[in-house]
Amino acid sequence: MDKVAKDPAGAGEIDLHQTLDDINSTMESFLGTASVDRVYGSPIEVGTTIIIPTSENLVIMGFGAAAGYGRGNFDGDEEDSKPGEGNGEAGGGGGGGGGRTLSRPVAVVIATPEGVRVETVADRTKVIMAAITAAGFVAGMFLRMSRGPKSF
């Protein structure tokens, strides 16, 4: 891979290594949000009991880039120009990326002199949404079955 690529339209140079380094740096910082340090919180000591919070982390990201260059009549009379013909060159490019991280507590690890246990953290919203979804599905199937078979 060339370190520097020149675009055919002469608009400038594109430093491919710098672009890849920027993407890699962004990805590393993004993935750092899902490290083990983020999953397990700092231990909390209460007397002889140690509590360690745990979480579930979800990282979503995407990147994209494109560029294009061409020749044509760029004097405003584009209906008459054919691809590859003309007296002008133009080009352009762009890129972008985005993402999101989501975290939610899932459990706590409790260590006492008697032993270690894991207590789950119930996500009420998730449970309620699952119940509403299941109830809607059951109601829909009940209505569909109560109508009887379709006649063609």
What pLDDT shows up at residue 73? 61
Q: pLDDT digit string (tens) for 79-130? A: 555 665 556 677 777 777 778 888 888 899 999 999 999 998 887 888 899 9
Average pLDDT over residues 127-138: 94
For the chain, give the mean pLDDT.
Answer: 77
Q: pLDDT digit string (tens) for 25-63? A: 877 877 777 677 778 888 999 999 999 999 888 888 887
Question: Which of the two residues, 79 and 137, has the higher pLDDT score?
Answer: 137
Q: Which of 80, 85, 55, 57 is CA-nearest to residue 70? A: 85
